[in-house]
Amino acid sequence: MHEKNSLSPCWQTSSYGSSADMSGLEQSELGNHFIVCQTLRGRLHYLKGSADTLHGLVSARFITCALVVVALGTVGYLAL
């Protein structure tokens, strides 16, 4: 038979057989943490998020965006 090696890790879950739900205190503290983090990030975080969104849009549709820029430039040039 196989003997259990005493050096092998013994894995246990943190819930120890009960449900792994968060307590009300843990949820409250997590909510407070999110509020503090969001406050500390401020406007630059919002600007970076917007830039990331715009980059994702443009990089996924590069040819379409290039054609729109050329079309708007042409219309602007002809309007002069």
For the segment 11-42, what is each residue's pLDDT rounded down to a tens digit? 555 666 666 677 788 888 888 888 888 777 77
Q: Is residue 14 part of a domain?
A: no
CB 65, CB 58: distance < 8 Å: yes
Q: Is residue 62 part of a domain?
A: yes
Q: Is residue 13 part of a domain?
A: no
CB 14, CB 20: distance < 8 Å: yes
Q: Is residue 38 part of a domain?
A: yes
Report the percent of the chain where pLDDT is more than 70. Answer: 75
Query: How many folded domains does the chain comprise?
Result: 1
| Domain span at 35 | 24-79
Q: Is residue 10 part of a domain?
A: no
The answer to whether the pTM exceeds 0.85 is no
For 59, the token pair is 């990089």
